[in-house]
Structure 1
Amino acid sequence: MKAPPDIIDRVRLIRTPGIGPVTYRQLLLRFGSAEAALAAIPDLARRGGGKAPAIFPKSAADREFAAVEKAGARYLILGQGLYPRALAELESAPPLLTVIGRLALLEQPMVAIVGARNASAAACRFARGLAHDLSREGVAVVSGLARGIDSAALDGSIDSGTIAVIAGGVDVYYPPENEVRQKDVAERGLLVAEMPPGTEPRARHFPYRNRIIAGLAVGTVVIEAAPQSGSLITARLAAEAGREVMAVPGSPIDPRAQGCNQLIREGATLIQSAADVIECIGNLHGKLASPPNASEFRPGPERNEGEPEVLALVEALLGPSPAPVDEIVRLSGASPGAVQLALLELDLAGRLDRHAGNKVSLR
């Protein structure tokens, strides 16, 4: 199948060095299409005082599209109908997802189950039973396909509804011993990846994967997690996204339970059964599953003639410490559109860092 030009342009845009999900979204909001955004990048970077990034080649985007097809996968595109609506609410939502399997699962309420890789046998048994009971009630279970709790949750829900989010490409099996599980998910559940096919997972990819897990789900259940673990990062991301955080208590003398017990002390809902989870998430699924905004990527206004000095003003307000964009708009006195354009120029010039919570700093 010949690749649609719009998809190729979107692949080129998000794979261009220095363009992350937030910058991608800002470019499409301003220019309306990936093609127009690609054409605008050199001039934006020049106005920002830097050198334009090397645009991802069309030939490489064509090869990626072919690899996705060869793997039996397809793209889900941010701002279009099949893209998960709850995930689209995240500021850092992935512009492209690669998926294999049952897309109908994305229409069900989703709950993430995460926890320790070196989980106890009792915790794995509980995770497997909880996932089984939730999936039988029409709740799709989201996990990360890691060892321990993730694998147990997958095993419990595979018959009725499991979604596995992986850190590498859809055609890369990690950890290697989960190859059979990953193939099983692709056939009977839904496999989700942000990275292009052929990508071997690296340490930096796992926090990105965790935000997808938290973003897909209306709530996250943590079962055994040590302090500073990736599972607690997922729980924090879920809380920041306004989703429910739930935890299964454990023995105070087991280090693997310290993270869960701390979450409960901080306000997470204590979970002992699937009924507890269903009661906790309540009607949150309906609130998140609103129709996507059809006007999301219409072109924004250009900078007004009277605002040529906005770039210098914004640059003067920025420093090495992250500052909220809303505060930059307020202090500058310029229009939000003009400030966003100035930030885009600095970003594409390699002079801006974007942070969680819609904050920016000067590099």
Structure 2
Amino acid sequence: MDRDELGAWLRLTLSAGVGNGAARRLLARFGLPQAVFQQSESALQQCVTLAQAKALCTVPSEWEALLDITWQWLEGADPQGPARAVVTLGDHRYPQSLLDTEDPPLLMYLMGPARLVTQAPFPVGRCLAVVGSRNPTAQGADNARLFSRTLRGAGLTIVSGLALGVDAAAHEGALDVVTEAAAQVAPATIAVVGTGLDRVYPRKNLDLAHRIATHGLLVSEYPLGTPPLAANFPKRNRIISGLSQGTLVVEAALASGSLITARMAAEQGREVFAIPGSIHAPQSRGCHALIRQGAKLVESAQDVLEELRLPSAPAVDRQLVDSGSACSNTDPGIHGGADSPVLKALGFDPMGVDALVARTGMDAASLQVALLELELEGRVARLPGGLFQRLGTA
């Protein structure tokens, strides 16, 4: 793409009041954006309103600066670092899975290894969205990482949104199994973000974003310089689901944005999966609602693979997901291991020390020692509010 073509696409996206739907009608009628801007106001009104036609005949005030910034961003990529690209609806690299959705973005900014950015279409391979709460339980974060690790090991590219919580854990899990052979075929993970690609939000995920740019893809439909505006994040969810064959919701409250992604996936004709959780956990209620509405209940990564008609995951990774924890090598002793009375009393719901004292009959001091041992072994997580939660099923 040369500078003039890029400029025409950017101008189309900046034209006031001209959304994706109107832009697609114009492209279908007149061809590429350069041809659109050669039309008279009256000719444009055959596809759009008078106000939209007037906007298209006026050069946006911010257009020239954005074109300069974007061209410099493309041309200034470090040859030793991630490649950069802008993929438009008219580009051979545009993914068919997104073209098949109701509202495909007009253009997308990409950052990642050159071998992936230049492929046609760019997300080669089969993709699964893994989404969930920004404030998951310890078990939820563990599930997101371990499910993603196993599913990536089975050949799926994990797609998520780079948010804190489940999103970050899903990306991390996919990156845990990066291999040179697999990276030649498909990205380990794709992060669809709600800002311009020259920004990382949240900043806590800066290192994770750099890792994704090395072994996966960062994707955005928003122009460079776009800050983290609240309205952009629900909108980008249609790209997360649209790139994917299915969406796995790990944990979600009833008001979670993850349910938006799941709804969009269903509307796009894609599979929706949900992991059930405790009836007492607010983060599980969204998943339970999805299951009542027809989402596939999954208890292991194998359930997802069978539904998508994919080969089984490697046994070692499947065991990790089924167990829910990569356990330590310490001797479990009287307090550790599957026979621990504290683990049996704790169950799988968050619980305070007083309730555990009542259940186990132990004195508070001994119980605190046992909980500390289990926490160091990675079998129990300490939660806010003085609560503890069991990790995994062991």
Band the TM-score falls in, shorter-chain normalisation: 0.7 to 0.9
Give secondary structure in 2 for the equivalent of 1:40: coil
Q: Work out whether 1:222 is the aligned partner of 2:249.
A: yes
Number of residue pairs aligned between Structure 1 and Structure 2: 282
**1:79 aligned to 2:90?**
yes
Report the counterpart of residue 114 of structure 1 in structure 2.
Answer: 131
Residues 248 and 272 of structure 1 are in contact (CA less than 8 Å); yes or no, is this contact kept in structure 2? yes
Q: Deviations over 1:182-206 (max 9, x none)?
A: 1111111111111112211100110
Say if 1:69 and 1:281 are closer, same or farther in 2 by CA, change over 3 A.
farther
Which structure has more relative contact order (CA 8 Å, sep 6+)? It is 1
What's 1:55 paired with?
A: 59
CA contact (8 A) 2:69 2:224 kept: no
Which is greater in Rg? 2
- The alpha-carbon deviation at position 15 of structure 1 amounts to 2.1
Query: 1:34 maps to which residue?
Result: 33
Residue 64 (structure 1) aligned with residue 70 (structure 2): yes
Alpha-carbon offset, residue 229 of structure 1: 1.3
Structure 1: how far apart are the matches of 2:166 and 2:289? 18
1:196 aligns with 2:223: yes
Identify which of 260, 265, 269 aligns with 1:238.
Answer: 265
Tell me the amino acid that sits aligned with residue 234 of structure 2: P
The amino acid across from 1:40 in the alignment is: Q
Alpha-carbon contact 1:8-1:65 (below 8 Å) kept? no
Moved more, 64-73 or 204-213: 64-73
Q: 8 Å contact 1:22–1:91 — kept in the other structure?
A: no
- From the superposition, tell whether residues 209 and 12 of structure 1 become closer, same or farther in structure 2 (CA, over 3 Å): same
Determine whether 1:277 maps to 2:270. Answer: no
Q: Is the 8 A contact 1:8 1:62 kept in 2?
A: no
Aligned to 2:21: 22
Structure 1 residue 207: Cα displacement: 1.5
With over 3 angstroms needed to count, the CA separation of the structure-2 counterparts of 1:203 and 1:44, relative to structure 1, is farther
Residue number in structure 2 paired with 1:89: 100
Displacement after TM superposition at 1:46 (Å): 6.4
1:109 positional shift: 0.3
Residue by residue over 1:276-308, the C-alpha shift from the partner in whole angstroms, topping out at 9 and shown as x without a partner, is 11122238xxxxxxxxxxxxxxxxxxxxxxxxx
Separation (CA, whole Å) in 1 of partners of 2:19 and 2:244: 22
8 Å contact from structure 1 (residues 110, 142) kept in 2: yes
TM-score (norm 2): 0.68
Q: Which moved more, 1:212-221 or 1:76-85?
A: 76-85
Instruction: Give the TM-score normalised by structure 1.
Output: 0.73
Change (3 A) 1:163 1:60: closer
Q: Is the 8 A contact 2:66 2:224 kept in 1?
A: no
In the alignment, structure 2 segments of 5+ residues that lack a partner are 78-82, 179-187, 311-394
Q: d(CA) in 2 for partners of 1:282 and 1:129?
A: 20
**Residue in structure 2 matched with residue 150 of structure 1 by the alignment:** 167
C-alpha deviations, 1:145-178, integer Å up to 9, x for none? 0000000001100143111111001110100111
Whether 1:259 and 2:286 are equivalent positions in the alignment is yes
CA distance in 2, matches of 1:177, 1:3: 35
1:130 is the counterpart of 2:157:
no
* Residues in 2 aligned to 1:32 and 1:206: alpha-carbon distance in whole angstroms: 30
